[in-house]
Amino acid sequence: MDALLIFVGLIALMLTGMPISIALGLTVLTFLFTMTQVPIDTVALKLFTGIEKFEIMAIPFFILAGNFLTHGGVARRMINFATAMVGHWHGGLGLGGVIACALFAAVSGSSPATVVAIGSVILPAMVKQGFPKQFGAGVITTSGALGILIPPSIVMVMYAVATSGMQAVGPDGQPVSSASVGELFMAGVVPGLMLAGFLAFTTWNRARRFGYPRLPKASLRERWEAFRKAAWGLILIVIVIGGIYTGIFTPTEAAAMSAVYAFVIAVFVYKDMKLRDVPRVLLSSASMSAMLLYIITNAVLFSFLMTHENIPQALGNWMVETGLPWWGFLIVVNILLLAAGNFMEPSSIVLIMAPILFPVAVRLGIDPVHFGIMIVVNMEVGMCHPPVGLNLYVASGITKMGITELTVAVWPWLLTMLVFLVLVTYVPWISLALPHALGM
């Protein structure tokens, strides 16, 4: 009964259009004031301790790094490198775009940032070469979604934060520990590369059927030259993923290192960015981070209320009693998350849903890491379709196409992503093979 009240209240408040963070906080406050005896002072304490974890600090660092990379010319050189490698195949620049998105995703933790970085350079070039606008927009909107699947990923950090320290028990009654940021990052590598392959195949296939232009084959010298110029950005992939894997850095430290590194190459090596532009980048990164941290604070408050009312546990018991098999549960989760993707952006969904669904999933014997990757792929799909798909809006900002037109343009790739989603959901091996092989 209480659970129903909480959710109805939350949804009603959210639909009035107020910020999600405020809706969350207000729901908790109202409930605590009227229905429970929880000392209200703990709310103030929770507001502080909610973000008092070092893991969360990876988010502002990765946002900062991503901003430096986007404006620092790293994306442009990655595109040159990618097109030099695959531009002569069917799909030409489009195929290059997919690869460039995958490369950029390996240094950036956000998908819209990937769409901006790659799309703003490659889309005008594609139109100029004679590709239909729709084709380019479809490729980049969906490939940009790789940003949150290929590590580093802000959404994965959110998932780790949202589920950390939860009291979850497996089907055998043994406590199961939640997934760490490092594990999730490693688990994202294989699915990320696979999805990049899928999207590249769709691109290649459509380009072949419609006879879109190809680029002349680059000579070995040109390829080497493109690689050499892109190398500064590519090294960052090694620093972040290698650093976390070998344990040289914690994910947060890796994020801070990559922010400093990105600053140095943007300003001093590539010189695409002037020193006087730096304060603006700092300010915009800070305000975006603050927005996300504010949602986290209030989501922590909300999940505190959930745990206090024993809602995840009750839901878990109920699920087990109904005898829903694990694959049935995953279908429900997929539908729930895809539906939520119609209204909210990924961070909020993960922060609200993960703490509720996680104990149930673990109870049914689903691996926490696999579950996390599945949620991330769901979020990717949500970013590419209306009404709130952020990637779509960014792509429409670049191409000046309407959202409706873009939605039609995106569908072949979106379909590919849905197929991939089913695959990731039901083949845990895809997500778990690498972390297990690495002994995580």
Partner 1 sequence: MLRLLDRLEEVMIGTLIAGATLLIFVSVVHRYSLGIIVDMYSYARAHDIAWAAPALRSTFMSVKSINLVWAQELCIYMFVWMAKFGAAYGVRTGIHVGIDVLINRLPPERRKIMILFGLACGAFFTGVIAVLGANFVHHMYYASSISPDLEIQMWIVYLAVPTGSALMCFRFLQVAFAFARTGELPHHDHGHVDGIEDDADIEAVEAAPVTPDDTGIATGSDRLPKDR
Q: 176-195: which residues touch partner 1 (CB under 8 A)?
A: none
| CA atoms of 252 and 157, how far apart (whole Å) | 10
Site string for partner 1, 290-329 (x = CB under 8 A): xxxxx--x--------------------------------
Buried b (16+ CB within 10 A) or exposed e, 403-438: eeebbebbebbbebbeebbeebbeebebbbebbeee
Instruction: Kindly tell me which of 128 and 221 has the beta carbon lying closer to partner 1.
Output: 128
Q: Looking only at residues 40 through 59 of this chain, which bind partner 1 when binding is defined by CB under 8 A?
A: 40-41, 43-45, 47-48, 51-54, 56-57
Amino acid at site 192: G
State both tokens at 278. 């730096």
Estimate the crossing angle of helix 181-210 against helix 251-264, to 10 degrees. Answer: 50
| CA atoms of 168 and 348, how far apart (whole Å) | 22
Among 6, 10, 25, 355, the residue binding partner 1 under the rule CB under 8 A is 25
Q: Looking only at residues 341 through 370 of this chain, which bind partner 1 when binding is defined by CB under 8 A?
A: 343-345, 348
Task: Name residue 304's beta-bridge partners.
Answer: none
The window from 158-166, 317-325, 338-346, 356-364 that contacts partner 1 (CB under 8 A) reads 338-346
| CA atoms of 150 and 199, how far apart (whole Å) | 14
CB count within 10 Å of CB 357 equals 23
Q: Looking only at residues 76 through 95 of this chain, which bind partner 1 when binding is defined by CB under 8 A?
A: 76
159: contact with partner 1 by CB under 8 A: no
| CA atoms of 151 and 110, how far apart (whole Å) | 10
Q: Looking only at residues 253 through 272 of this chain, which bind partner 1 when binding is defined by CB under 8 A?
A: 253, 256-257, 259-260
Among 92, 96, 112, 233, the residue binding partner 1 under the rule CB under 8 A is 112
What contacts 374, CB < 8 A, 6 or more positions away? 330, 333, 334, 421, 424, 425, 431
Among 167, 280, 411, 427, the residue binding partner 1 under the rule CB under 8 A is 280
| CA atoms of 350 and 340, how far apart (whole Å) | 10
Among 282, 324, 336, 418, the residue binding partner 1 under the rule CB under 8 A is 282
Amino acid at site 307: T
Among 6, 10, 64, 381, the residue binding partner 1 under the rule CB under 8 A is 64
Instruction: Kindly tell me which of 167 and 284 has the beta carbon lying closer to partner 1.
Output: 284
Among 8, 35, 231, 286, the residue binding partner 1 under the rule CB under 8 A is 286
Cα Rg, the chain, nearest whole Å? 22
Among 4, 17, 211, 216, the residue binding partner 1 under the rule CB under 8 A is 17
Among 23, 299, 361, 401, the residue binding partner 1 under the rule CB under 8 A is 23
What's 433's DSSP letter? H
Site string for partner 1, 115-144 (x = CB under 8 A): xx--xxx--xx--x----------------
State both tokens at 389. 């798909």
| CA atoms of 232 and 101, how far apart (whole Å) | 16
Instruction: Kindly tell me which of 358 and 393 has the beta carbon lying closer to partner 1.
Output: 393
Instruction: Kindly tell me which of 11 and 419 has the beta carbon lying closer to partner 1.
Output: 11
